[in-house]
Amino acid sequence: MQETIVIGVIGSDCHAVGNKILENVFARAGFNVINLGVMVSQDEYIDAAIETNARAILVSSIYGHGEIDCIGMRDRCTERGLDGIPLFVGGNLVIGKREFKDVEVIFKGMGFDRVFGPDVDLQHVVDCLHQDIAVYNREHLAVEAAA
């Protein structure tokens, strides 16, 4: 089954190149990719995910304001009924050159399931997606169906 995922670059961020590559990679990996492009607001991701019944949201932030733009994203998902939807974030997430593990702590703290640096191997991300979507389908959507 072709799973749907939503991707885009959050906030006021205009970096388009990585986004075009992510679309290409995930599409070739068999996903139905809804690409919102650059400068996407939290609600735009969520609208798209609800509309397309997506199984994961992948947020990019390249320009450094990720630490501000991503605040509250998880709560907003939950609020709007996307309970437990896999939330990935990747890119140059904070201002300046900082240790990746510190950056990871910040974004995990915000409720992102997976945090990736700019040099991530995208094949690894595809694997993570399959894995997390499987769990999501089993746990959350099963619960929903039962409810």
List alpha helices for the chain, DSSP H.
17-28, 42-52, 66-69, 73-79, 100-109, 122-136, 142-146
Q: Is 64 in the site for ligand B12 (CB under 6 A)?
A: yes
Task: Choose the contact partner of 120 out of ligand B12, another protein, none; CB within 5 to 8 A by kind.
Answer: ligand B12
Q: Is 25 helix (H, G, I), strand (E, B) or coil?
A: helix
Query: CA 30, 35, 66, 57: dihedral to nearest 10 degrees?
Result: -50
Residues 120-139 within binding reach of ligand B12 (CB under 6 A): 120, 125
b (16+ CB within 10 A) / e for 4-17: bbbbbbbbebeeee
In the residue annotation, 65 being an active-site residue is answered as: no
Closer CB to another protein, residue 1 or residue 109?
109
Residue 55 near residue 137, CB atoms below 8 Å: yes
In the residue annotation, 13 being an active-site residue is answered as: yes
Q: Is 99 in the site for ligand B12 (CB under 6 A)?
A: no
Footprint on this chain of ligand B12 (rule: CB under 6 A): 12-18, 21-22, 58, 60, 62-64, 88-92, 95-96, 116, 118, 120, 125
Footprint on this chain of another protein (rule: CB under 8 A): 11-14, 16-17, 20-21, 24, 37-39, 63-65, 67-68, 92, 94-98, 118-119
